Amino acid sequence: MPSIRMKAISSGDTTEVQALVQHPMDSGFVKDPSGALIPPHHIETLVFSHNDKPVFTAYWGPAVSKDPYVKFAFKGAAKGDTLQATWIDNMGKTDTGTAKIA
């Protein structure tokens, strides 16, 4: 199951994007039930691209909450175009999701 769920709606010359990224976003400061620290595991970079050009980039750290929600708008897209989102976390894992602009 993809970790990125997106919705992109074009209205006039502006496209509004809403995305939910499923990720634990562990800070490294929380303990498990046995008292051991849970190692840090968080997204460091999240990039949304349209026509292979970045339209929104987020640089995150351990302070972002679990399953972050992102909302932004950009210009230059048309209905039917594809929007792509890719994240990379501090453990080197990555995932990519796509959505058609409605």
CATH for 10: 2.60.40.10
Separation between Cα atoms, residue 88 and residue 6, nearest integer Å:
17
27 contacts 96 by C-beta, under 8 angstroms: no
Q: pLDDT-derived band of residue 19, with 50, 70 and 90 as boundaries?
A: very high
The total of structural domains in the chain comes to: 1
> pLDDT of 54-73, one tens digit each?
999 999 999 999 999 999 99
What is the mean predicted confidence (pLDDT) over 24-30? 95
Q: What domain range includes position 49?
A: 4-30+38-100
Per-residue confidence (pLDDT) for residue 2, from 0 to 100: 75
pTM of the model as a whole: 0.93
Per-residue confidence (pLDDT) for residue 1, from 0 to 100: 65
86 contacts 46 by C-beta, under 8 angstroms: yes
Question: What is the average pLDDT value for the chain, to the nearest integer?
Answer: 96
